[in-house]
Structure 1
Amino acid sequence: MHLIDAKTKIFGVLGHNISYTLSPAIHNYIFMEIGYNAVYLVFDVPENKFDYVAKALIDICEGFNVTIPYKEKIIPYLTHLDKSAEIIGAVNTVYRGRGYNTDYIATKKLFEKYRHSLEKGICYIFGAGGAARAAAAALGEQGCSIRIVNRSVDRALKMAKDLRKIVNSIEVANTSTCEEAEVIVNATPDPSFIPDKCLHNNLKLVIEFVYRPVETLLVKKAIEKGIPVINGLEILVAQALEAQRIWLGIEFPFEKVVGYLHARKLIW
């Protein structure tokens, strides 16, 4: 790692109650490996300080990530939005004042190998925040029919309305009909929110955004039933590498990052 000096570029992640985040470990490792003079920091900011901190980070940071609960709230502070972020209505990566959604890009790429058997499948997405929006857009663009399950029905209805411009079939549902699902996505902080009946034998894929632990309760149950899984660690690393591509124009090996996290015992 470079010593911090006047030429050091500043990157980071903006969120609240995010002491768990692995983003600094990932990005500082990449900076070290490629010999780039930069540091990646955690900006854990309460909502009453968001306004002036967000403006300051846009000015002083070369780029930064955005996580809960600010993926939607950051948008009015940005000068431009990438097409994906504009359509989805959520931003998780900022570069020189421009907003992107690498959750969407990463989910779309990871889903690609399953697309041939699921392009007209029914997908139940649990949650209605930024990650849920990204997943709905990525899977909906591949032809999946999206069903949103969320504790706040109003928030789910707004998500469905916002995404109908790019997703042909999207509606609000509940768990009473989840036996029809071919794909289950957990985009909430609580994998136990999804009832066992949704993990039925006809399910073809589970996508989990939670990455600590890597084998969440949902992932364990899916593996026990022989259901293919895209886990939260895969999504975390894939979206981080997309952010690096936006910031620095580089392609860094996925396996090297995962190997580093394992070697440092930062994942379990």
Structure 2
Amino acid sequence: MRTFGLLGRNIDYSFSRKYFSEKFEKENIDAEYKNFDLASIDELPAVLKNNIISGLNVTIPYKEEVIPFLDYLDLHSRQIKAVNTIKFEKDGSLCGYNTDYWGFMGSLEPFLKPYHKKALILGTGGASKAIAYALELLEIEYKFVSRKKAANIFSYDELNREIMETYTIVINCTPLGTFPKVDQYPAIPVEYFSKDHLIFDLVYNPSETKLMQLGREKGATCLNGLRMLELQAEKAWEIWNS
């Protein structure tokens, strides 16, 4: 039996464990999927020593911290500077990949319209890097939004009607709105949402976040992060078995 797993901290909720465990059962795959819940990334060598692992997913807060422990990075993870998939090569080396950008592109593209030219990325954490990389591949201009203004970053306070009407894609890369704090959402002027807006919330629990609800009330197209997670998981499985 092969062992796969998720590397992260406080990951009892783990989409990945549920997804892959169900996949293994449904497809009669002789494998198991474990959570490796680490208080510090420095515990990783002990995990690798004490377990025979065929592949790992990586989630917050270790997508960047895990890189020094790897032997190689593929082209995409080098550009993004974050890893969410680790392949264990036959020679014992560890290669890092990023499938977040792949999952995001695959779930966003079917809903893009010709007028979706510019995007706002809410948040500047690890997830936002893969989103920005995917938008570059899609040739969509973007700006980050954070609490403090900086180069190529809007502050939430300066978002106005003109900006919101120009940037018709809004992507929430923050955890705001995640269960159980379902009434929270990023501090953007939702009154300027319209039917032209495409709102993508990486949160998937609940299936409709407060941000999505407010967008839908204005006629916007609203997506959650579930399809992105499914696509990135399948891409990781492909990498592990290639």
| TM-fit CA distance, 1:196 | 3.6
In structure 2, what is the Cα distance between the partners aligned to 1:89 and 1:64? 17
2:121 — aligned with what?
Answer: 125
TM-score, normalized by length of structure 2?
A: 0.84
Change (3 A) 1:30 1:54: farther
Work out whether residues 122 and 182 of structure 1, in 8 Å CA contact, stay in contact via their aligned partners in 2: yes
Report 1:26-175 matches (<5 A): 26-47=19-40, 50-53=41-44, 56-57=47-48, 60-96=52-88, 97-118=94-115, 121-151=117-147, 171-175=152-156
In structure 2, what is the Cα distance between the partners aligned to 1:182 and 1:227? 10
Work out whether residues 199 and 222 of structure 1, in 8 Å CA contact, stay in contact via their aligned partners in 2: no
In structure 1, what is the Cα distance between the partners aligned to 2:199 and 2:142? 14
In structure 2, what is the Cα distance between the partners aligned to 1:42 and 1:20? 10
1:214 — aligned with what?
Answer: 207
Give deviations 1:33-81, integer Å, cap 9, x for gaps.
Answer: 222211111111112xx21325633873211111111111111111111
1:91 counterpart SS class: coil
Structure 1 residues not aligned, in runs of 5+: 1-7, 158-170, 250-268
Work out whether residues 193 and 215 of structure 2, in 8 Å CA contact, stay in contact via their aligned partners in 1: no
In structure 2, what is the Cα distance between the partners aligned to 1:227 and 1:98? 40
Change (3 A) 1:199 1:54: farther
Structure 2 residues not aligned, in runs of 5+: 89-93, 178-184
1:113 counterpart SS class: helix
The worse-fitting range, judged by mean Cα deviation, of 189-198 and 73-82 is 189-198
2:181 — aligned with what?
Answer: none
1:17 — aligned with what?
Answer: 10
| TM-fit CA distance, 1:202 | 5.9
Change (3 A) 1:202 1:116: closer
Identity %: 34
Change (3 A) 1:122 1:77: same
Cα RMSD, aligned residues only: 2.2
Aligned residues: 224
AA matched with 1:240: A
Match of 2:167 among 181, 184, 197: 181
1:245 counterpart SS class: helix
In structure 1, what is the Cα distance between the partners aligned to 2:75 and 2:31? 28
Work out whether residues 84 and 100 of structure 2, in 8 Å CA contact, stay in contact via their aligned partners in 1: yes
TM-score, normalized by length of structure 1?
A: 0.76
AA matched with 1:44: D
